[in-house]
Copies of this chain bind each other. A is one copy, B any other.
Amino acid sequence: MTPARYQRIIEVLDRRQPDLTLILEGVHKPHNLSAIQRTADAVGVLDMHAVSPERPYRSRKGTAMGSQKWVRVHNHAATADAVDALQARGFQVVAAHLSERARDFRRIDYSRPTAILMGTEKYGVSGQALALADAEITIPMTGMVASLNVSVAAAVILYEAQRQREQAGCYDTPRLDPELRARLLFRWGYP
Protein backbone atom coordinates (compact mmCIF):
# COMPACT_ATOMS: atom_id res chain seq x y z
CA MET A 1 0.00 0.00 0.00
CA THR A 2 1.27 3.48 -0.90
CA PRO A 3 1.47 6.11 1.85
CA ALA A 4 -1.12 8.19 -0.06
CA ARG A 5 -3.58 5.31 -0.08
CA TYR A 6 -2.95 4.63 3.60
CA GLN A 7 -3.63 8.31 4.33
CA ARG A 8 -6.83 8.20 2.27
CA ILE A 9 -8.15 5.19 4.15
CA ILE A 10 -7.40 6.82 7.50
CA GLU A 11 -9.26 9.95 6.44
CA VAL A 12 -12.30 7.98 5.27
CA LEU A 13 -12.38 5.88 8.45
CA ASP A 14 -12.17 9.02 10.55
CA ARG A 15 -15.25 10.42 8.82
CA ARG A 16 -17.35 7.26 9.06
CA GLN A 17 -20.70 7.68 10.85
CA PRO A 18 -21.43 4.56 12.90
CA ASP A 19 -24.80 6.00 13.94
CA LEU A 20 -26.23 6.57 10.45
CA THR A 21 -27.56 3.54 8.61
CA LEU A 22 -30.06 2.23 6.10
CA ILE A 23 -32.52 -0.63 6.25
CA LEU A 24 -33.48 -1.89 2.80
CA GLU A 25 -36.68 -3.87 2.96
CA GLY A 26 -36.77 -6.23 0.01
CA VAL A 27 -35.08 -3.86 -2.43
CA HIS A 28 -33.87 -6.39 -4.97
CA LYS A 29 -32.80 -4.79 -8.26
CA PRO A 30 -29.01 -5.03 -8.38
CA HIS A 31 -28.51 -1.60 -9.95
CA ASN A 32 -30.58 0.00 -7.20
CA LEU A 33 -28.78 -1.85 -4.43
CA SER A 34 -25.42 -0.93 -5.87
CA ALA A 35 -26.29 2.73 -6.39
CA ILE A 36 -27.54 2.92 -2.79
CA GLN A 37 -24.39 1.33 -1.44
CA ARG A 38 -22.27 3.78 -3.41
CA THR A 39 -24.19 6.76 -2.00
CA ALA A 40 -23.98 5.28 1.49
CA ASP A 41 -20.20 5.10 1.19
CA ALA A 42 -20.10 8.70 -0.05
CA VAL A 43 -21.89 10.11 3.01
CA GLY A 44 -19.92 7.99 5.47
CA VAL A 45 -22.32 5.17 6.29
CA LEU A 46 -20.48 2.27 7.93
CA ASP A 47 -23.16 -0.44 8.04
CA MET A 48 -26.24 -1.19 5.99
CA HIS A 49 -29.05 -3.64 6.67
CA ALA A 50 -30.80 -5.69 4.02
CA VAL A 51 -33.98 -7.57 4.70
CA SER A 52 -34.81 -10.23 2.19
CA PRO A 53 -36.32 -13.48 3.31
CA GLU A 54 -35.34 -15.25 0.09
CA ARG A 55 -32.02 -14.12 -1.27
CA PRO A 56 -29.20 -12.66 0.80
CA TYR A 57 -27.87 -9.36 -0.48
CA ARG A 58 -25.02 -9.44 -2.96
CA SER A 59 -23.99 -6.31 -4.79
CA ARG A 60 -23.17 -6.37 -8.46
CA LYS A 61 -19.69 -5.34 -9.33
CA GLY A 62 -20.33 -2.66 -11.98
CA THR A 63 -22.58 -0.08 -10.41
CA ALA A 64 -21.32 -0.42 -6.85
CA MET A 65 -17.84 0.51 -8.05
CA GLY A 66 -16.32 -1.67 -5.38
CA SER A 67 -18.32 -0.02 -2.59
CA GLN A 68 -19.27 -3.47 -1.19
CA LYS A 69 -15.84 -3.46 0.36
CA TRP A 70 -16.41 -0.14 2.14
CA VAL A 71 -19.95 -0.48 3.45
CA ARG A 72 -20.75 -3.59 5.43
CA VAL A 73 -24.08 -5.19 4.60
CA HIS A 74 -25.88 -7.21 7.24
CA ASN A 75 -28.60 -9.58 6.06
CA HIS A 76 -31.77 -10.14 8.07
CA ALA A 77 -34.59 -12.58 7.47
CA ALA A 78 -37.26 -10.24 8.86
CA THR A 79 -37.63 -6.47 9.12
CA ALA A 80 -38.47 -6.66 12.82
CA ASP A 81 -35.05 -8.19 13.55
CA ALA A 82 -33.21 -5.25 12.03
CA VAL A 83 -35.54 -2.58 13.47
CA ASP A 84 -35.59 -4.03 16.99
CA ALA A 85 -31.81 -4.38 17.16
CA LEU A 86 -31.26 -0.79 16.02
CA GLN A 87 -33.93 0.69 18.29
CA ALA A 88 -32.40 -1.22 21.20
CA ARG A 89 -29.15 0.59 20.43
CA GLY A 90 -30.91 3.96 20.53
CA PHE A 91 -31.50 4.54 16.82
CA GLN A 92 -34.61 6.30 15.59
CA VAL A 93 -36.01 4.38 12.62
CA VAL A 94 -37.57 6.61 9.96
CA ALA A 95 -39.50 4.95 7.15
CA ALA A 96 -39.39 6.62 3.74
CA HIS A 97 -42.97 6.32 2.63
CA LEU A 98 -45.58 8.25 0.71
CA SER A 99 -48.47 8.65 3.10
CA GLU A 100 -50.67 11.24 4.69
CA ARG A 101 -49.02 10.65 8.05
CA ALA A 102 -45.51 11.23 6.73
CA ARG A 103 -43.72 14.48 7.41
CA ASP A 104 -41.33 16.26 5.10
CA PHE A 105 -37.99 14.44 5.14
CA ARG A 106 -36.13 17.67 5.93
CA ARG A 107 -37.89 17.95 9.32
CA ILE A 108 -36.03 15.02 10.88
CA ASP A 109 -32.93 15.54 13.03
CA TYR A 110 -30.45 13.23 11.30
CA SER A 111 -27.61 14.13 13.65
CA ARG A 112 -29.27 11.73 16.11
CA PRO A 113 -28.55 8.00 15.66
CA THR A 114 -30.77 7.26 12.66
CA ALA A 115 -31.75 4.33 10.48
CA ILE A 116 -33.52 5.18 7.21
CA LEU A 117 -35.87 2.45 6.10
CA MET A 118 -36.53 2.09 2.36
CA GLY A 119 -39.23 -0.08 0.75
CA THR A 120 -39.35 -2.35 -2.26
CA GLU A 121 -39.59 -1.03 -5.77
CA LYS A 122 -43.02 -2.49 -6.26
CA TYR A 123 -44.88 -2.47 -2.96
CA GLY A 124 -43.10 0.10 -0.81
CA VAL A 125 -42.53 -0.26 2.93
CA SER A 126 -44.50 -3.09 4.57
CA GLY A 127 -47.29 -2.41 7.01
CA GLN A 128 -45.34 -4.26 9.68
CA ALA A 129 -42.33 -2.01 9.18
CA LEU A 130 -44.51 1.11 9.30
CA ALA A 131 -45.95 -0.05 12.60
CA LEU A 132 -42.46 -0.46 14.05
CA ALA A 133 -40.94 2.75 12.68
CA ASP A 134 -40.59 5.85 14.86
CA ALA A 135 -41.59 8.20 12.05
CA GLU A 136 -42.61 8.28 8.40
CA ILE A 137 -40.96 10.72 6.05
CA THR A 138 -41.73 11.78 2.53
CA ILE A 139 -39.86 13.64 -0.18
CA PRO A 140 -42.21 16.22 -1.69
CA MET A 141 -43.20 15.53 -5.30
CA THR A 142 -44.92 18.00 -7.53
CA GLY A 143 -45.28 16.00 -10.76
CA MET A 144 -47.50 13.34 -12.29
CA VAL A 145 -45.43 10.32 -11.32
CA ALA A 146 -46.35 8.72 -7.99
CA SER A 147 -42.95 7.83 -6.55
CA LEU A 148 -39.21 8.23 -7.01
CA ASN A 149 -36.80 5.46 -7.84
CA VAL A 150 -35.69 3.88 -4.54
CA SER A 151 -31.98 4.65 -4.99
CA VAL A 152 -32.86 8.23 -5.84
CA ALA A 153 -35.07 8.57 -2.75
CA ALA A 154 -32.36 7.07 -0.53
CA ALA A 155 -29.79 9.51 -1.92
CA VAL A 156 -31.94 12.59 -1.44
CA ILE A 157 -32.50 11.65 2.21
CA LEU A 158 -28.87 10.64 2.82
CA TYR A 159 -27.61 13.95 1.48
CA GLU A 160 -29.97 15.85 3.77
CA ALA A 161 -28.45 13.78 6.61
CA GLN A 162 -24.96 14.64 5.31
CA ARG A 163 -25.81 18.35 5.25
CA GLN A 164 -27.11 18.30 8.82
CA ARG A 165 -24.21 16.22 10.10
CA GLU A 166 -21.65 18.43 8.40
CA GLN A 167 -23.26 21.41 10.14
CA ALA A 168 -23.34 19.60 13.48
CA GLY A 169 -19.63 18.77 13.21
CA CYS A 170 -20.18 14.99 13.06
CA TYR A 171 -17.43 14.60 10.44
CA ASP A 172 -14.88 16.67 12.35
CA THR A 173 -13.67 14.12 14.87
CA PRO A 174 -13.23 10.33 14.58
CA ARG A 175 -16.34 8.42 15.62
CA LEU A 176 -15.27 4.79 15.38
CA ASP A 177 -14.37 2.64 18.30
CA PRO A 178 -10.51 2.34 18.15
CA GLU A 179 -10.56 -1.45 18.04
CA LEU A 180 -13.00 -1.48 15.09
CA ARG A 181 -11.06 1.28 13.35
CA ALA A 182 -7.86 -0.79 13.59
CA ARG A 183 -9.62 -3.86 12.27
CA LEU A 184 -11.08 -1.97 9.29
CA LEU A 185 -7.78 -0.28 8.54
CA PHE A 186 -6.20 -3.69 8.31
CA ARG A 187 -8.98 -5.14 6.16
CA TRP A 188 -9.19 -2.14 3.79
CA GLY A 189 -5.47 -1.71 3.49
CA TYR A 190 -4.41 -5.27 2.76
CA PRO A 191 -6.51 -6.88 0.06
**Chain A interface, >50% SS class:** helix
Q: Which residue of B is nearest A70, CB measured?
A: B144
Cβ B12 vs Cβ A142 within 8 A? yes
Q: Which residue of B is nearest A163, CB measured?
A: B106
Indicate if A97 sits at the interface (CB-CB under 8 A). Answer: no
Indicate if A49 sits at the interface (CB-CB under 8 A). Answer: no
Q: How far is the CA of A68 from the CA of B145 in the complex (A)?
A: 10
User: In the complex, which residues of chain B have a beta carbon less than 8 angstroms from the beta carbon of A15?
Assistant: 142
Which of B41, B149, B171 meets A145, CB within 8 Å?
B41
Cβ A149 vs Cβ B43 within 8 A? no
Q: What is the minimal beta-carbon distance from A175 to any residue of chain B, in angstroms?
A: 12
Cβ B44 vs Cβ A148 within 8 A? no
Q: What is the minimal beta-carbon distance from A67 to any residue of chain B, in angstroms?
A: 5
A residues contacting B by CB (< 8 A) are: 8-9, 12, 15, 31, 34-35, 38-44, 63, 65-67, 69-71, 106, 139-149, 151-152, 155-156, 159, 162-163, 166, 171, 188
